[in-house]
Amino acid sequence: MNFTDAEQLASQLDASDTLASLRGQFDIPDGIVYFDGNSLGPLTYRSREVLTRTIEFEWRERLIRSWNEDWLAMPARIGNVLAPIIGASPNTVTVCDNTSINVHKALMSAVALRPDRTEIVIDINNFPTDIYIAQSVADQNNLTLIAVPADRIIESISERTAVVTATHVDYRSAQLLDAEGITLAAHSHGALVVWDLAHTAGAVPFDVTALDVDFAVGCGYKYLNGGPGAPAFIYVAPRLLDTASQPLQGWWGHEFPFEFETSFRPAVGIDRYLTGTANVLSMKSLEAALEIFSGVSMVELRAKSQSLTTFFIDLFDAFLAEKGFSLGTPRDPESRGSHVALGFAGGKALVETMAEQGVIADFRPPDLMRFGCAPLYNSHMDIVHLVKMLAAR
């Protein structure tokens, strides 16, 4: 294969792309090819429109009246918009806080539901914040943290395990963990499971209902494109909502927050996982960005994601494998998420140089370059442009 062949193939693939028109809903600057949606999704035109209205009308004109007119309902309303993306039933997802705080809530809830257990099992290669929080939860509850590689999680679960937690898509390699197997193993031992869907939601199908997941969390600013610092989400299985409690008992999680009682009574259902006042502007941006998912199936998104990453790996084999790059992502499309990781000794400097030339990706130490292939706006021709630049380094 040469680059002329690659461009012809990319043109054919892009011509048959049923999602191609969605790229026009994103305000990606001219001259920029963006491969970092796995860290921060780009701005949508709809988010800008909604934020402008929120500032100019809801905040400037309606002022505090906007709380009762719209803002108080946002966490639950946006949670219900997001729910189908992760296979959740209505009123089981709320949008609030950030991923770290929601991981803490979920783990503390799970531990409280299994008071006779002594261990937490976690993927040792999990995103660091998950590990830090799991360790803090273990310390606060006099539990032992069992940190093992993903392929040893199932064998590490026992009758001592209170909760198992892992990230569905490995943030470095894009390796998909065995969500079904791990969840079944946890439940077979009476343990609960908390899944982090930060690199899953909006790019990789996940069905919390079919998998019988206990808790799930994730952020709103990666493939969901909610904007920098966009709020996270938390899911709790319906069978747990009446008995589960969370440790951050703020006034928004109270059954009657505007009665201003001095004692805490948890709200009914998923609302009890709220804590403090919603961040209105971030919420509005996320809600607007999620509109793009209303007419798109996760099956379509997954198919394009796999097409993009497969095409990238094919071009890696043709043009990059003999130039000092190594593939850090599974070759099996069913085993990877929506980014491709390449190892390269000068990766950090190369990523910085590429950014100056209009191709934006990211770097994770010690030598890993990550390229997010977001099905809503990346194209196969983008991949050719990227590989040409890498090959010419």
Active site residue ranges: 127, 196, 221-222, 370
Nearest to 76 by CA among 291, 283, 243: 283
Order of strands, edge to edge, in the sheet holding 161-167? 93-96, 232-236, 215-218, 192-196, 161-167, 119-123, 144-148
Strands 215-218 and 161-167: unpaired
CA angle, residues 318, 323, 325, in degrees to nearest 5: 90
Q: Are 102 and 96 in contact (CB under 8 A)?
A: yes
Query: Which residues have CB under 8 Å from 284's CB, separation 6+?
Result: 47, 50, 51, 54, 74
Angle between helix 380-391 and helix 347-356 axes, rounded to 10 deg: 120
Q: In a 3-state reduction of DSSP, which class is residue 236?
A: strand
Fill in the DSSP letter of residue 44. B
347-356, long-range: CB within 8 Å, 24+ apart, which pairs? 350/390, 350/393, 353/393, 354/389, 354/390
CB half-sphere exposure, 322, CA atoms < 13 A: 2
Alpha-carbon radius of gyration of the chain: 22
Query: Which residues have CB under 8 Å from 130's CB, separation 6+?
Result: 103, 122, 165, 167, 196
> Which helix (H) or strand (E) covers residue 363, if one does?
strand 362-364
What is the distance between the alpha carbons of residues 237 and 227, in angstroms, rounded to a whole number?
A: 27
Residue where the block lists tokens 């949508």:
44
Query: Which residues have CB under 8 Å from 357's CB, separation 6+?
Result: 389
344-354 in b/e form (b: 16+ CB < 10 A) is beebbebbeeb
